[in-house]
């Protein structure tokens, strides 16, 4: 059995405070025998304080942007040391020369296992980050793993690419906020909470994978996050969730067994007809 944990928690600009929160989550995870701990998008240094508008170019003030960290820098090395035998995924703002990326990394005490740069950028996020350009699964102590970031989950092709690359577990880390207009005072009734949850269940079901979704919680700048961290089985069933509160969603899963069971009669990846899926030019 593999114990999977998805986290809904607040992370801001203070890196020492971020690492202190991670340390507490890892201590609890070890006590519970957790093998995979999925932390949110922008775990190290927080998310953008304001998303802005799609197509409107503007430079956010320094305090509204997270610190840019190097993949081979001391912060990621510190995260790996803290992880030890646990697979930990965490988001951060990656510096790559002149460019900055919204990135998630998977680590253990042995170092970096895999990296994903967010491909799909909502609203004005492109003002602060360059876009990634690929989706790749990788081997890990908990099985073959794929990673996505937030808005990536809205695009079926992203998760499908990881599934076709052999991903058994897909971790999607997020800083997913509630609706900005006509927002519900009750996060459980918010339409963006509904979309977040629906995407998680649909992506798990259509690819018949185990889905682990983490998210920021609380508020940051102008954003109010929906939490709703969860573990979803390959039939689209929610195995554990935090709901709209901060916390941890923990599930014990026999990953090979549940994947084999889900795919025994109707195997979605096997039964694809890719030769029929082309679309007319310009659509």
How do residues 242-280 score in pLDDT, each as one tens digit? 999 999 999 999 999 999 999 998 999 999 999 999 877
User: Which sign, positive or negative, has the C-alpha torsion 134, 135, 139, 142?
Assistant: positive
* Domains of the chain (ranges, CATH numbers): 2-269 (3.60.110.10)
How do residues 55-83 score in pLDDT, each as one tens digit? 666 666 666 679 999 999 999 999 999 99
- Cα separation, 116 vs 69, whole angstroms: 15
pLDDT at 129 over 60: yes
How do residues 181-222 score in pLDDT, each as one tens digit? 888 899 999 999 999 999 999 999 999 999 999 999 999 999
Of 13, 28, 56, 40, nearest in space to 220 by CA: 13
What is the per-residue pLDDT for 65? 79
How do residues 220-248 score in pLDDT, each as one tens digit? 999 999 999 999 999 999 999 999 999 99
Phi, psi (degrees; rounded to nearest 5) at 228 = 60, 35
How do residues 131-180 score in pLDDT, each as one tens digit? 999 999 999 999 999 999 999 999 999 999 999 999 999 999 999 999 98
What is the per-residue pLDDT for 59? 62
What is the per-residue pLDDT for 63? 61
Of 78, 91, 267, nearest in space to 176 by CA: 91
How do residues 92-124 score in pLDDT, each as one tens digit? 999 998 899 999 999 999 999 999 999 999 988
**Contacting residues for 280 by C-beta, under 8 A, at least 6 apart:** none
What is the per-residue pLDDT for 219? 96
CA 128 to chain centre: 19
What is the per-residue pLDDT for 182? 85
């Amino acid at each position: 059995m593999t114990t999977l944990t998805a986290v809904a928690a607040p992370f801001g600009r203070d890196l020492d405070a971020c690492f202190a929160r991670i340390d507490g989550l890892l201590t609890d995870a070890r006590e519970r025998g957790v093998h995979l701990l999925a932390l949110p998008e922008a775990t190290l240094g927080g998310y953008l304080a304001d998303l802005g508008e799609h197509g409107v170019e503007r430079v956010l003030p320094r305090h509204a942007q997270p610190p840019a960290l190097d993949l081979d820098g001391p912060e990621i090395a510190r995260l790996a040391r803290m992880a030890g035998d646990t697979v930990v995924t965490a988001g951060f703002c990656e510096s790559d020369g002149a460019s900055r990326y919204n990135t998630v990394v998977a680590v253990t005490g042995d170092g970096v296992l895999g990296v994903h740069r967010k491909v799909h950028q909502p609203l004005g996020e492109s003002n602060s980050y360059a876009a990634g350009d690929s989706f790749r699964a990788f081997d890990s102590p908990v099985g073959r793993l794929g990673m996505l970031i937030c808005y990536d989950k809205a695009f079926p092709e992203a998760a499908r690419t990881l599934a076709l690359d052999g991903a058994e577990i897909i971790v999607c880390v997020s800083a997913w906020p509630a609706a900005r207009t006509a927002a519900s005072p009750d996060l459980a009734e918010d339409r963006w909470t509904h979309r977040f949850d629906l995407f998680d269940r649909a992506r798990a079901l259509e690819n018949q994978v185990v889905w682990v979704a983490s998210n920021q919680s609380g508020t940051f700048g102008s954003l109010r996050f929906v939490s709703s961290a969860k573990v979803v089985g390959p039939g689209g069933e929610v195995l554990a969730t935090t709901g709209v509160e901060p916390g941890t969603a923990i599930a014990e899963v026999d990953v090979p067994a549940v994947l084999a069971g889900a795919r025994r009669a109707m195997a979605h990846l096997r039964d694809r007809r890719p030769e029929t899926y082309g679309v007319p030019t310009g659509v």
